Amino acid sequence: MVGAGAGLLLLAFGRGAVAVAQDAKEPTPSLYEQALDKILGNSKPLPGKIIFEIPEIAENGNTVPYAITIDSPMTSSDHVKSVHILSSQNPLPHVASFTLTPLTGRAYVSSRMRLAKTQEVVVLAELSSGKFLMGQRTVKVTIGGCGG
Amino acid sequence: MSLRPRIKLPDAIKPGEIIEIKTLISHIMETGQRRDKDGRTIPRKIINAFRATFDGQEVFSATLYPGTSANPYLVFNMRVPGPGDLEFTWVEDGGAVTTERVKLNVSV
């Protein structure tokens, strides 16, 4: 009886170990990864063509200025449809999404963002063709934003 | 909602020109992540949307999240088709809307 009990116990432990291994293989995607997936769907973004101006070192994470320029003729058949900005390490990754039109004339937007700590900031631009462009920059943050 | 939006346009505008439009609205952009002295979460209250139209046609719009700084400042461009009316709207959590209209003076 004692032998059978030990065997059952071992079996239980064994299953536990398997379950842990499966969890490790498929970690829950972070909010940042979820936000990225939601914007991109199945598209693979192409690098380049985005001029992403943001300070390398931000002394105050509460207001980090940025400007995004994309080389585009901005005609009705060939324009940037939307620009998304995501922070990889903020508690809430999405910063802003912008919709541009041919009337915008130039694929440019500038604003200010909060950065909780040093991290990568990612820009995704969707073109009228459905293609995505991606740009990213690392910003060192001296004093984090986003509040207590 | 008296949020005092500010809009800056160039002084002289010619038809066909691409102009820069700067907008700013005073707003705390409360993230919903902060806690008060007693440890209670301060509810989120942000400007969540902005839209600029020219004679009813969309020029530029934005969806904003708590990652956007207080007093949201937005700079964008517009290709000026001719004289017309610009309308800017800001929407706050809860649905309050601030609207500002500007006549675009275009010198031919």
B62·A146 Cβ contact <8 A: no
Task: Please tell me what DSSP assigns to residue A45.
Answer: P
- In the block, tokens 């102009």 appear at B19
pLDDT, residue A121, reads 97
pLDDT means per 10 residues, chain A with 148 residues, are 46 46 66 94 89 96 97 96 97 97 97 96 96 96 72
The whole-model pTM stands at: 0.86
pLDDT, residue B46, reads 97
pLDDT, residue A147, reads 54
For A69, name the nearest residue in chain B, comparing CA atoms only. Answer: B76
User: Which member of B63, B68, B76 has the closest CB to residue A108?
Assistant: B76
pLDDT, residue A29, reads 84
Q: What is the mean pLDDT of residues B26-35?
A: 94
Q: What is the mean pLDDT of chain B?
A: 95
Residues whose CB is less than 8 angstroms from the CB of residue A122 and which lie 6 or more positions away in sequence, other chains included: A36, A85, A86, A87, A88, A134, A135, A136
pLDDT, residue A144, reads 77
Q: Buried b vs exposed e over A116-139: b needs ≥16 C-beta within 10 Å?
A: bbebebbbbbbbbeeebbbbebeb
pLDDT, residue A62, reads 95
pLDDT, residue A25, reads 59
pLDDT, residue A14, reads 45
Closest CA to B64 of B34, B32, B91, B24: B91
pLDDT, residue A24, reads 55
Tell me, letter by letter, the H, E, C secondary structure of B43-101.
CCECEEEEEEEECCEEEEEEEECCCECCCCEEEEEEECCCCEEEEEEEEECCCCEEEEE
Residues of A in contact with B55 (CB under 8 A): none
pLDDT, residue A7, reads 45
Residues whose CB is less than 8 angstroms from the CB of residue A30 and which lie 6 or more positions away in sequence, other chains included: A93
Q: How would DSSP label each residue in A2-31?
A: HHHHHHHHHHHHHHHHHHHHHHHHSPPPPH
Residues of B in contact with A146 (CB under 8 A): 31, 33, 66-67
- In the block, tokens 């719009």 appear at B61
Q: What is the mean pLDDT of residues B25-32?
A: 96
Cα–Cα distance between A134 and A50 in angstroms, integer?
7
Of the CATH numbers 1.20.120.1200, 2.60.40.2470, 2.20.28.120, 3.40.109.10, which one belongs to the domain with range A31-143? 2.60.40.2470
User: Which member of A95, A109, A148 has the closest CB to residue B65?
Assistant: A95
Asked whether the predicted pLDDT for residue B29 surpasses 60, the reply is yes
For B23, name the nearest residue in chain A, comparing CA atoms only. Answer: A111
pLDDT, residue B2, reads 57
Of the CATH numbers 1.20.1560.10, 3.90.950.10, 2.60.40.10, 2.60.120.10, which one belongs to the domain with range B6-104? 2.60.40.10
Cα–Cα distance between B70 and B47 in angstroms, integer?
9
pLDDT, residue B9, reads 96
- In the block, tokens 């980090």 appear at A64
ipTM reported for the complex surpasses 0.90: yes
Which is more confidently placed, B39 or A2? B39
Give the distance from residue A146's alpha carbon to the nearest chain B alpha carbon, in angstroms: 7
pLDDT, residue A87, reads 96
Cα–Cα distance between B11 and B95 in angstroms, integer?
33
- Domain boundaries in chain B? 6-104
